[in-house]
């Protein structure tokens, strides 16, 4: 008798357990997908912005950057990036090359509150600041590796993340050679610089470009339409970060020292 | 017991049964996929096209400097006439979208009055580009708020810094402890008046030939009296034979004129 | 959240040199170390099984079904650490719905399903079908129905039907060998194809992954065969143990050669990344790489196996040597996965600094969760061998009652 009761209980438990497991693995994901679709289905009626008429890039003139960190600060304010110094859409690095040609790089808090004087000032051969951000590559390794199509390059050349679709596998963060991505601690999805897409599609400048006091950052059309960026591309020698990786970055640096990685 | 045999031709019963299970599973999966696939996926590429409107609709926090001038004309005019003309208002005053666009009375932007606020940009750091106006924090009116002498909207002070040292402070300090301490900037460099307004477009001139330095440093030149504004009494100026010294290079391709005895 | 920030703040002090600010948080944790370890065991166990089925290594017969069930146990658990690691596990089926054909990770869902359904489950089904029918016929009540349902209601165990089953098993194993290679090789490709990371980006990584998988799989089956024999009060068959030891030795030699080749090649070419990688190896990875992976996990078992296999020691002693080697190898291969996954994230992509990984005890991605995922396959294995006993001597008799 005891045997039979045990078996019945066992069977019931197995069936219940399997059923709930199936529900979780199948219906759970399905429900969240359905939600994602519904949220995005409502298109707001906005004045016509034609993404096919634009192709964006940014210029960064290293010989102008004063390392004030206002760009990093403005970016966090504009895009609601967590204020903790572990999540940056843009940041500033300082390079100090000493007389023995040793390179010292630092970025205290991403340069958010500026920099304090470096150690060993007397010994400096060269020193400069380098603002960094997502390079919005034309051949982005992050887009290549995303397993679900949650990150993509738009028609106007901006690499964005669909945070309602991202599964948070972090493959894109590993694949980015520039350290431009991070996992948003609240949304649990990948996050990164978007060129302030919500601003540029209204004809405004990205927040970092807006507040830069020395016009270090130049934003505009990268494809030969009259713009400050175009003039920069024409008149200056242009460098990009890690060109050997063939990511084709669209953030173009001028006066970039060879020691910058 | 009935024995059902589902074999089809040469394919035996067990293969047909397991095959059916797999086919049913596959069909079921395809049906589920069709039902749950987001509509806009694939429209523009391998992503949900409907993601884009959501990103475009994110809230703004910076208004852009043009919006400030609509109400704050005076400050804007003052700024456009001075050294801070290329600064956005929000660079110092922080994000002002809520104030400028949404409701001016609901919030007012930050007004930075502390000394530290100006030092973020103007405190001396060796990594800053040469020519950017910087002060040594501990030597330049320590503890005083900057706005006591400088109006942030037009920061030129009443007391003007000697010669070029307002912006080229580090060069001035370097030169001041060098053998060239008594040489004035103007002696070697002539700066057009526009240089203060637009420094990168109107660059100061530099000497163009070896003979310029040769005025003092060539063998056979005067060793007493005044030369280029410097009294030569008891000065031991190093002299070289200009014909042979240093090949055909310009002098400052090896010697740093602001600190000629250094590395 | 605040606790998480506090953890990250604590890591700041452990940075040496310069890292990009976003690199302070390690993205792939111990769960991502466990996943390749598990799929490696799957691939290795299956390759061993295929040695018997396709290459007719008769001595390995006692381990054939054991290897299949072992592979299934590990395969069932394999996606679990991945699920637990995702930021949004409820969205994981997106990988099956909208897989990005350019992404190696997107292939996971399909490779996994292919291997689980069309290789492993199918092979186990065909191999056990005749027994399942027999067990159904010899039971009553629920057990009868259970085995009948497992056999999909088939009842034909005539010679022709069983011959078809055997042919099916052979064919599936044949297809299964490259499938096993892909199942684990693609994990290596996920790492090997990241050009941003010089520790991972290498042509050899998928190959090294695969060979270390084979090593770990054979070692695991050796351990399981030995332990299960002891528990059942039987002597493990010496020809089988010797054959397992031989194949383990060959695989280990190959694996070590490939890893040494990678190492020598990097040193010789001496690209820019050599400075930070050398620093990584002698500081952060010294214990796990030089000591655990290389000395304890490869060289020592290699010597022990060679000595044990080709010496004239008595059988009991040989068995002990094999078992100890196999255990050391498990630790070594796990350490290999650790050194690849965690090691690749301990240095900055700026090539100018090193950071640290703090393994939490609790939490979704902590040590306890990791240990849980490592123990779970064995629990599933215990369940499987109760339902589908793989023992030769029990093929005819019905499995004992199923109650827990």
A43 assigned to some structural domain = no
A169/C100 CB distance under 8 A: no
Chain C CB contacts of A5 below 8 Å: none
Chain A CB contacts of C345 below 8 Å: 174
Give the distance from residue A117's alpha carbon to the nearest chain C alpha carbon, in angstroms.
17
Sort strands B226-227 and B230-231 into parallel, antiparallel or unpaired.
antiparallel
Q: Which residues constitute the domain of residue B209? A: 164-263
Query: pLDDT value at position C142?
Result: 93
| In chain C, domain spans | 34-193+362-404, 237-357
E strands of A2-121, at which residues? 56-61, 90-98, 103-106
What is the count of residue pairs from A and B with beta carbons less than 8 Å apart? 152
What is the band of C399 on the pLDDT scale with cuts at 50, 70, 90? low
The enclosing H or E element of A190 equals: strand A190-191
**For residues C207-229, average pLDDT:** 95
Residue A30 predicted with pLDDT over 60: no
Average pLDDT, chain C: 93
Digit-coded pLDDT (tens) for C70-83: 999 999 999 999 99
Give the distance from residue C62's alpha carbon to the nearest chain B alpha carbon, in angstroms.
26
Give the distance from residue A190's alpha carbon to the nearest chain C alpha carbon, in angstroms.
9
Distance, CA of A106 to CA of B195 (rounded, Å): 33
A63 assigned to some structural domain = yes
Q: Is the dihedral of CA A65, A69, A72, A78 positive or negative?
A: negative
Distance, CA of B175 to CA of B194 (rounded, Å): 24
B83 assigned to some structural domain = no
Digit-coded pLDDT (tens) for A227-254: 889 999 999 999 999 999 999 999 999 9
**For residues A197-220, average pLDDT:** 96
Identify the three-state secondary structure at position B6: coil
Task: Give the closest of A149, A150, A205 to B64, CB-based.
Answer: A205
pTM of the model: 0.90
Distance, CA of B98 to CA of C134 (rounded, Å): 78
Contact status, residue C194 vs residue C201, Cβ threshold 8 Å: yes
Together in a domain, A30 and A150: no
Together in a domain, A99 and A10: no
Together in a domain, A15 and A57: no
End-to-end CA separation in angstroms for chain C: 40
Residue with tokens 């030891």: C245
Inform me whether the C-beta atom of residue C125 falls under 8 Å from chain B C-beta atoms: yes
**For residues C98-104, average pLDDT:** 94
Residue A39 predicted with pLDDT over 50: no
A170 assigned to some structural domain = yes
CATH of the domain at A141: 3.30.70.20
User: Which of A174, A244, A257 should one mutate to test binding to chain C, selecting the residue with the greatest count of C CBs within 10 A?
Assistant: A174
Residue A59 predicted with pLDDT over 60: yes
Q: How far is CA B212 from CA B113, C94, C129, in A?
A: 48, 74, 101
Residue A4's Cβ-side half-sphere holds a number of Cα atoms within 13 Å equal to: 3
C155/B3 CB distance under 8 A: yes
Give the distance from residue B223's alpha carbon to the nearest chain A alpha carbon, in angstroms.
34
Digit-coded pLDDT (tens) for A151-163: 999 999 999 999 9
Residues 94-113 of chain C with CB under 8 A from chain B are: 96-98, 100
Residue A5 predicted with pLDDT over 60: no
Q: List CB contacts of A122: < 8 A, sequence separation 6 or more.
A: none
Residue A42 predicted with pLDDT over 60: no
Subunits with 3+ Cβ pairs within 8 Å of A are B, C
**For residues A156-181, average pLDDT:** 97
Together in a domain, A6 and A77: no
**For residues C297-325, average pLDDT:** 95
A75 assigned to some structural domain = yes
Together in a domain, A10 and A119: no
Closest by Cα among C341, C73, C330 to C187: C341
Which residues pair with residue A104 across a beta bridge?
A96
Inform me whether the C-beta atom of residue A145 falls under 8 Å from chain C C-beta atoms: yes
Inform me whether the C-beta atom of residue B64 falls under 8 Å from chain A C-beta atoms: yes
Digit-coded pLDDT (tens) for B127-155: 999 999 999 999 999 999 999 999 999 99
Digit-coded pLDDT (tens) for C343-392: 999 999 999 999 999 998 888 889 999 999 999 999 999 999 999 999 87
Query: pLDDT value at position A204?
Result: 95
Contact status, residue C402 vs residue C387, Cβ threshold 8 Å: yes
Main-chain dihedrals φ then ψ at residue C94, nearest 5 degrees: -55, -30
Closest by Cα among C220, C211, C228, C236 to C325: C220
Chain A CB contacts of C197 below 8 Å: 174
Together in a domain, A190 and A246: yes
Give the distance from residue B5's alpha carbon to the nearest chain C alpha carbon, in angstroms.
8
B262 assigned to some structural domain = yes
Tell me how crowded residue A13 is: count the other CB atoms within 10 A of its CB.
11
Residue C403 predicted with pLDDT over 80: no
Q: Is the dihedral of CA A157, A162, A165, A170 positive or negative?
A: positive
Query: pLDDT value at position A21?
Result: 45
Higher pLDDT, C291 or A33: C291
Residue A13 predicted with pLDDT over 90: no
User: Which of C10, C27, C347 should one mutate to test binding to chain A, selecting the residue with the greatest count of A CBs within 10 A?
Assistant: C27
Tell me how crowded residue A44 is: count the other CB atoms within 10 A of its CB.
8
Q: List CB contacts of C174: < 8 A, sequence separation 6 or more.
A: C50, C54
**For residues C143-168, average pLDDT:** 92
Q: Which residues constitute the domain of residue A204? A: 53-261
Q: C375-395 burial, b if ≥16 CB within 10 A, otherwise e?
A: ebbeebbeebbeebbbbeeee
Contact status, residue C344 vs residue C197, Cβ threshold 8 Å: yes
Task: Give the closest of C129, C152, C168 to B21, CB-based.
Answer: C152
Query: pLDDT value at position C396?
Result: 55
Distance, CA of A80 to CA of B81 (rounded, Å): 34
Contact status, residue A130 vs residue A260, Cβ threshold 8 Å: yes
**For residues A138-160, average pLDDT:** 97
Together in a domain, A173 and A115: yes
Closest by Cα among C81, C71, C68, C70 to C108: C81
Q: Tell me the two tokens of residue A255.
A: 């006066």
Sort strands A103-106 and A90-98 into parallel, antiparallel or unpaired.
antiparallel
Query: pLDDT value at position C362?
Result: 85
Together in a domain, A176 and A135: yes
Q: How many residues does chain C have?
A: 404
Q: Which range has highest mean pLDDT (A25-34, A39-48, C201-210)?
A: C201-210
Residues 12-71 of chain A with CB under 8 A from chain B are: 26, 30, 33-34, 36-37, 39-41, 43-44, 46, 49, 51, 63-70
Domain count, chain B: 1
Residue A24 predicted with pLDDT over 80: no
The enclosing H or E element of B152 equals: none
Contact status, residue A199 vs residue A219, Cβ threshold 8 Å: no
Cα angle, residue A255 at apex, residues A254 and A257 outer, rounded to 5°: 125
Main-chain dihedrals φ then ψ at residue B62, nearest 5 degrees: -105, 135
ipTM of model over 0.90: yes
Query: pLDDT value at position B221?
Result: 84
Alpha helices in chain B, H assignment, sequence order: 13-36, 51-56, 65-69, 73-80, 89-93, 97, 115-122, 169-176, 185-188, 210-217
Closest by Cα among B220, B140, B212, B222 to B183: B212
Cα angle, residue A246 at apex, residues A243 and A251 outer, rounded to 5°: 55
Together in a domain, A26 and A82: no
B193 assigned to some structural domain = yes
Identify the three-state secondary structure at position A257: coil
Cα angle, residue C353 at apex, residues A167 and A217 outer, rounded to 5°: 70
B43 assigned to some structural domain = no
Contact status, residue A111 vs residue A69, Cβ threshold 8 Å: yes
Together in a domain, A15 and A72: no
Closest by Cα among C131, C134, C1 to C69: C131
Radius of gyration of chain A (CA): 24
End-to-end CA separation in angstroms for chain A: 75
B156 assigned to some structural domain = no
Which parts of chain B sit beneath pLDDT 50? 1
Together in a domain, A257 and A212: yes
Together in a domain, A142 and A79: yes
């Amino acid at each position: 008798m005891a045997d039979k009761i045990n078996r019945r209980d066992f069977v019931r438990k197995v069936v219940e357990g399997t059923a709930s497991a199936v529900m979780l693995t199948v219906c759970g994901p399905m429900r969240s997908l359905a939600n994602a679709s519904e949220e995005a289905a409502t298109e707001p009626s906005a004045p016509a912005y034609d993404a096919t008429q634009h192709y964006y890039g940014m210029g960064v003139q290293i010989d102008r950057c004063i390392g004030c960190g206002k760009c990093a600060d403005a970016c966090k304010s504009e895009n609601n990036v967590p204020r903790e110094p572990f999540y940056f859409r843009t940041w500033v690095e300082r390079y100090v090359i000493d007389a023995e040609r040793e390179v010292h790089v630092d970025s205290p808090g991403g340069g958010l509150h500026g920099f304090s004087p470096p150690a060993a000032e007397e010994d400096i051969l060269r020193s400069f600041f380098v603002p960094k951000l997502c390079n919005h590559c034309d051949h982005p390794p992050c887009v290549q590796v995303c397993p679900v199509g949650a990150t993509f390059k738009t028609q106007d050349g901006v690499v964005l993340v669909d945070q309602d679709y991202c599964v948070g596998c972090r493959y894109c963060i590993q694949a980015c050679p520039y350290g431009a991505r991070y996992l948003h601690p609240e949304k649990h999805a990948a996050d990164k610089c978007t060129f302030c897409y919500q601003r540029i599609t209204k004809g405004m400048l990205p927040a970092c470009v807006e507040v830069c006091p020395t016009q270090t950052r130049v934003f505009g059309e990268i494809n030969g339409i009259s713009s400050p960026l175009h003039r920069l591309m024409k008149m200056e020698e242009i460098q990009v970060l890690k060109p050997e990786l063939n990511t084709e970055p669209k953030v173009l640096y001028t006066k970039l020292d060879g020691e910058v990685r | 017991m009935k024995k059902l045999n589902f074999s089809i031709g040469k394919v035996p019963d067990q293969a047909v049964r397991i095959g059916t299970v797999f086919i049913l599973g596959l069909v079921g999966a395809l049906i589920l996929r069709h039902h749950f696939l987001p509509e806009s996926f694939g429209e523009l590429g391998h992503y949900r096209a409907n993601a884009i409107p959501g990103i475009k609709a994110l809230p703004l926090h910076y208004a852009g400097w043009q919006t400030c001038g609509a109400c704050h004309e005076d400050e804007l005019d003052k700024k456009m006439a001075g050294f801070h003309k290329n600064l956005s208002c929000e660079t110092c005053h922080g994000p002002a979208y809520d104030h400028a666009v949404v409701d001016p009375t609901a919030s007012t932007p930050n007004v930075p009055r502390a000394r530290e606020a100006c030092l973020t940009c103007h405190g001396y750091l060796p990594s800053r580009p040469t020519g950017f106006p910087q002060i040594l924090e501990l030597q330049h009116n320590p503890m005083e708020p900057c706005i006591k002498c400088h109006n942030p909207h037009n920061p030129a002070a009443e007391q003007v810094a000697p010669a070029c040292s307002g912006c080229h402070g580090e060069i001035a300090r370097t030169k001041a402890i060098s053998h060239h301490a008594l040489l004035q900037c103007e002696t070697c460099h002539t700066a057009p008046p526009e240089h203060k307004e637009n420094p990168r477009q109107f660059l100061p001139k530099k000497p163009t030939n070896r003979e310029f330095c040769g005025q003092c440093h060539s063998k056979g030149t005067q060793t007493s009296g005044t030369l280029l504004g410097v009294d030569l009494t008891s000065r031991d100026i190093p002299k070289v034979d200009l014909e042979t010294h240093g090949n055909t290079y310009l002098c400052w391709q090896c010697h740093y004129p602001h600190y000629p005895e250094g590395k | 959240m605040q606790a998480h920030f506090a953890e990250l703040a604590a890591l700041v002090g452990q940075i040496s040199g310069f890292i990009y600010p976003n690199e302070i948080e390690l993205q792939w944790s111990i769960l991502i170390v466990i996943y390749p370890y598990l799929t490696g065991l799957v691939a290795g166990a299956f390759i061993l099984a295929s040695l018997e089925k396709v290459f007719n290594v008769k001595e390995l017969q006692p381990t054939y079904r054991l290897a299949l069930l072992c592979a299934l146990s590990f395969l069932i658990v394999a996606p679990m650490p991945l699920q637990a690691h995702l930021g949004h596990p409820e969205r994981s089926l997106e990988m099956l719905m909208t897989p990005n054909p350019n992404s190696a990770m997107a292939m996971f869902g399909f490779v996994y399903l292919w291997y689980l359904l069309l290789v492993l489950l199918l092979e186990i089904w065909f191999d056990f079908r005749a027994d399942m029918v027999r067990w159904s016929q010899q039971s009553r009540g629920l057990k009868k129905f259970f085995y009948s349902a497992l056999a999909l209601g088939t009842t034909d165990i005539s010679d022709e039907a069983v011959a078809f089953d055997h042919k099916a098993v052979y064919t599936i194993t044949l297809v299964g060998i490259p499938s096993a290679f892909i199942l684990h090789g693609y994990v290596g490709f996920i790492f090997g194809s990241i050009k941003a990371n010089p520790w991972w980006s290498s042509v050899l990584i998928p190959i090294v992954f695969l060979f270390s998988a084979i090593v770990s799989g054979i070692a695991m089956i050796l351990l399981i065969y030995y332990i299960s024999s002891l528990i059942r009060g039987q002597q493990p068959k010496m020809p089988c143990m010797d054959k397992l030891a031989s194949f383990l030795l060959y695989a280990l030699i190959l694996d070590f050669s490939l890893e040494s080749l990678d190492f020598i090649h990097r040193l010789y070419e001496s690209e820019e990344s050599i400075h930070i990688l050398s620093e990584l190896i002698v500081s952060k990875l010294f214990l796990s790489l030089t000591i655990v992976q290389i000395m304890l996990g490869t060289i020592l078992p290699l010597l022990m196996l060679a000595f044990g296999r080709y010496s004239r020691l008595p059988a009991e002693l040989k068995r002990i040597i094999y078992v100890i080697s196999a255990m050391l190898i498990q630790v070594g291969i796990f350490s290999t996965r650790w050194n690849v996954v965690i090691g690749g994230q301990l240095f900055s992509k700026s090539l100018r600094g090193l950071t640290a990984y703090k393994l939490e005890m609790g939490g979704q991605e902590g040590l306890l969760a990791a240990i849980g995922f490592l123990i779970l396959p064995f629990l599933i294995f215990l369940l499987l061998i109760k339902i589908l006993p793989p023992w030769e001597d029990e093929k005819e008799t019905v499995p004992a009652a199923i109650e827990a």
